Amino acid sequence: MDDPKMKLLTVTFYMKGGHQVVAKYAKNVKMTRDSGTGAYSGYEVEFEPGHHPSLFTVSIPDIVAVVAEEQPLQ
């Protein structure tokens, strides 16, 4: 990591069907909005270099909650 004080996150996307999608090694997660309407449009996840997944996709209408938790220091 660039900043030793920065902690990595585990981001959990909770889905309508009761499923969970978990993304580890995130540096930042933010909700995005449509520039024209201001309506919610999705999430942007920034991963630690070298730790991003090969494929990461979730259906935006199916997300009911998102929780980002600091990973325990190792």
Q: How is the chain split into domains, by residue range?
A: 9-70
pLDDT tens digit sequence for 12-69: 999 999 999 999 999 999 999 989 998 888 899 999 999 988 887 888 888 999 999 9
Q: What is the pTM of this model?
A: 0.77
How far is residue 11's CA from residue 45's CA, in Å, rounded to a whole number?
Answer: 9
The two three-digit tokens of residue 15, written as one number = 């889905």
Q: Residue 74 — very low, low, confident or very high, per pLDDT cuts 50/70/90?
A: low
Given CA atoms 39, 29, 3, 47 in this order, what sign does their dihedral have? negative
Per-residue tokens: 33: 């909005």
Give the HSE-up count for residue 25: Cα atoms under 13 Å, Cβ half-sphere.
9
